[in-house]
Amino acid sequence: MQVASVSSQDSGPRTSLQVPADFAWPNGARLALSIVVNVEEGAEMNILDGDSRPEPVDELGAVPRRAVRVHGNESNYRYGIDAGARRVFRLLGERGLPATATAAALALERAPEVVARLLAGGHETAAHGYRWVYQYRMDEAQERDFIRRARDSITATVGVAPAGWLSRLLHTDNTRRILAEEGFTYHMDDYSGDLPFWELVECADGQPRPILVMPYALDSNDMKMWTAPSLTPADWARYAIDSFDWLLDEASTEGVRMMSFGLHLRIVGRPGRAGALGRVLDHVSNRDDVWVATRRDIAAAWAAAVPAPQP
């Protein structure tokens, strides 16, 4: 079999991957598109949950550093889990598009109506922490407990153990190893390329284990409509569509590609932004050369064509 070599660089040890030259995604698609819906609302920092300060990610622009409640910000998160979720999952459902929900486990515990939408739509649930807090501040024992609590909670809530993990912003030198030891299939905290790749991690028992790294994307994320300098919904939609078109064109001549497209219920679920999402989804739907799939399914297709390396 002829193969093309794909190498990856990171702070940890990696394998050099061999991708079959004739590899295509299911049904001959050249581009795999992963729509990621971040479900964080209800699991953010709040002094009612014992945090020392309120949630710092605040569209209001008022972020106190002392232990007070920010009722307006809390209500913005509530909007996401209610009206925002209804809009986002309706837009996906109308087009028959599957998504991967990267969910903070506590958010799902507190929002059974969102769980019902995930199950009804056939969406995947990956783990985004037990709560939406910073795990990079944890020692190894704390981080392992955090990962286990997230895994076990999501398993109980949706009935399927999460295969993937996305941290809040930063992860530790231990994260990928702990995930491999705790049974996760893939890790999303990477922005280094447009294809998955395997990494061998040295586990506590002395045996290396493979874990699939599935790069995510920040540039096409709907947070760009929120963080300064922000994009208008029209500019954001244009950027997302341009990214999609470029990768699809590249995939048709240079080999398969994967695109990640990140959404947040409290951001793109607002009325003035939902239309932009609809335009993007219309553009990527019903194309023979594109496979819109969950990250779990993309990981399985990749593993079938590019087997995990053996120690």
- Tell me what pLDDT residue 18 has: 66
Q: What is the pLDDT of residues 186-224, one digit of tens each?
A: 999 999 999 999 999 998 888 899 999 999 999 999 999
Mean pLDDT in residue range 168-183: 96
8 Å CB contact between 136 and 167: yes
Phi and psi at residue 180, to the nearest 5°: -65, -40
Q: What is the pLDDT of residues 79-92, one digit of tens each?
A: 999 999 999 999 99
In the chain, % of residues over pLDDT 90: 86
Q: Which residue has the tokens 């909670």?
A: 153
8 Å CB contact between 238 and 283: no
- What's the Rg (C-alpha) of the chain? 19
In the chain, % of residues over pLDDT 70: 94
- Tell me what pLDDT residue 227 has: 87
d(CA 200, CA 211) in angstroms, rounded, equals: 6
**Is the predicted pLDDT of residue 63 greater than 90, yes or no?**
no
Q: Give residue 1's pLDDT band: very low, low, confident or very high (50, 70, 90).
A: very low
Q: Give residue 19's pLDDT band: very low, low, confident or very high (50, 70, 90).
A: confident
Q: Give residue 17's pLDDT band: very low, low, confident or very high (50, 70, 90).
A: low
**Is the predicted pLDDT of residue 30 greater than 60, yes or no?**
yes
- Tell me what pLDDT residue 66 has: 85
Lowest mean pLDDT among 5-14, 60-69, 129-138, 286-295: 5-14
pTM for the full model?
0.93
Complete DSSP assignment for the chain: --EEEE----SS--PPEEEETT---GGG-SEEEEEEEEE-TTSS--GGGT-SS--S--TTS---SSS---HHHHHHHHHIIIIIHHHHHHHHHHHT---EEEE-HHHHHT-HHHHHHHHHTT-EEEE--SSSS-GGGS-HHHHHHHHHHHHHHHHHHHSS---EE--SS---TTHHHHHHHTT--EE----S-SS-EEEEEE-TTS-EEEEEE----STTSGGGGTSSSPPPHHHHHHHHHHHHHHHHHHHHHH--EEEEEEEEHHHHTSHHHHHHHHHHHHHHSS-TTEEE--HHHHHHHHHHHSPPPP-
**Is the predicted pLDDT of residue 4 greater than 50, yes or no?**
no
Long-range (24+ apart) CB contacts under 8 A made by 12-17 are: 12/173, 12/176, 12/199, 12/201, 13/199, 13/200, 13/201, 13/202, 14/197, 14/198, 14/199, 14/200, 15/197, 15/198, 15/199, 15/200, 15/210, 15/309, 17/197, 17/198, 17/306
**Is the predicted pLDDT of residue 3 greater than 50, yes or no?**
no
- Tell me what pLDDT residue 8 has: 37
Q: What is the pLDDT of residues 272-291, one digit of tens each?
A: 999 999 999 999 999 999 99
**Is the predicted pLDDT of residue 10 greater than 50, yes or no?**
no
Q: What is the pLDDT of residues 153-172, one digit of tens each?
A: 999 999 999 999 999 999 99
Mean pLDDT of the chain: 92
Q: What is the pLDDT of residues 225-260, one digit of tens each?
A: 998 889 999 999 999 999 999 999 999 999 999 999
Position with higher pLDDT, 28 vs 5? 28
